[in-house]
Amino acid sequence: MSATIAPFAHPPFARPVRDARVADRLSRHRRRVDITVKVLGTLATLLGLLLLASILLTLIWRGMAGIGITTFTHITLPPGSHGGLLNAIVGSLVQTTLGTLIGTPVGLMVGTYLAEYARGSTLGNAVRFVSDVLLSAPSILIGLFVYTLLVAPFGGFSGIAGCIALAILVVPIVVRTTEDMLRLVPISLREAAFALGAPKWQVTVMVCYRAAREGIATGVLLAVARVAGETAPLLFTSLGNLNWSLSMTQPMASLPVTIYQYAGSAFDDWVDLAWAGALLITFGVLALNILARAVLRRG
């Protein structure tokens, strides 16, 4: 018997042609979406760079007007007295340095505990939650907390209270970056160290810390960049001081507080010094980042 062929059957080449047309349309659609996303991303990047450049150029243009020898050799003086920012610069360096030295070890240990010893535990989840809340808390609340704890009971503002407030701001940043960086260390590195008979603490210190040191250092630098420009916590703790003082039990000057006081002044020389202080903070943080990167790369 002869085979019968259905009268309305499609030729065997019809479906591949139709599939090729659909695939071509999908390919063109993907290319259009890809080009659109690239254009939008490029425009957003250019906008961000433009805003950043405008801020930096304005800061340099206005800040250089207040930069001079007296800025680094004279303390803050009344308007028209050719004062400088020496006491504010030294006060900021002291408080930022001590705050970082106090907060960094605490944050490093807490982050290590969360990453290496408390994975999935109830206590670890609770500590992580508190750290995240502290990370997002307004800095003025930290200032009020330290004011209630160290200023009001002792009857006066002090530099040590300012250092404690800045240290509290440092801790959650270092905790988060330390935990994240240690979690990125490959398990194979830990297993290799354990196979050689190294104890847990030695694996953490000699292997994990070395592998994650750049990320941890970045977290510390981010913390320094944040606390270097904080004003609200220092207003409630160290308050500020127009005179020269390095006593940690007395009010201490700082660049952020001085900028806050001078920026809204009606005197042009104080406004110029406020811009100069902002420029010094910006380039100080930038220089610290560059120096730390260079040291880490050589190490």
pLDDT at 1 over 50: no
Stretch among 129-138, 218-227, 284-293 having the lowest mean pLDDT: 284-293
In this structure, are residues 73 and 87 in contact, taking their beta carbons and an 8 Å threshold? no
Question: In this structure, what are the phi and psi dihedrals at residue 197, rounded to the nearest 5 degrees?
Answer: 95, 10
Residue 10 lies in a domain: no
- In tens, the pLDDT along 132-179 reads 999 999 999 999 999 999 999 998 999 999 999 999 999 999 999 999
Whether residues 47 and 179 share a domain: the answer is no
Residue 213 lies in a domain: yes
Q: What local confidence, expressed as pLDDT, does residue 289 receive?
A: 86
Distance CA 143, CA 169 (A): 10
The band of 47, judged by pLDDT with boundaries at 50, 70 and 90, is very high
Distance CA 281, CA 259 (A): 10
CATH number at 286 reads: 1.10.3720.10
Domain endpoint, select from 18, 42, 66: 66
Whether residues 121 and 229 share a domain: the answer is yes
Whether residues 49 and 130 share a domain: the answer is no
Q: Kindly report the average pLDDT of the chain as a whole number.
A: 91
The band of 183, judged by pLDDT with boundaries at 50, 70 and 90, is very high
Q: Is 271 helix (H, G, I), strand (E, B) or coil?
A: helix
Whether residues 37 and 144 share a domain: the answer is no
Q: How many domains does the chain have?
A: 2
158 Cβ contact list (under 8 Å, min separation 6) = 150, 151, 237, 238, 248, 249, 250, 251, 252
DSSP H or E stretch at residue 2:
none
Residue 231 lies in a domain: yes
Stretch among 56-60, 178-182, 286-290 having the lowest mean pLDDT: 286-290
Whether residues 248 and 133 share a domain: the answer is yes
**Structural domain for 39, as ranges:** 32-66
Whether residues 172 and 229 share a domain: the answer is yes
- In tens, the pLDDT along 56-93 reads 999 999 999 999 999 999 999 999 898 999 999 999 99
The band of 257, judged by pLDDT with boundaries at 50, 70 and 90, is very high
Whether residues 59 and 74 share a domain: the answer is no
Residue 178 lies in a domain: yes
pLDDT at 14 over 60: no
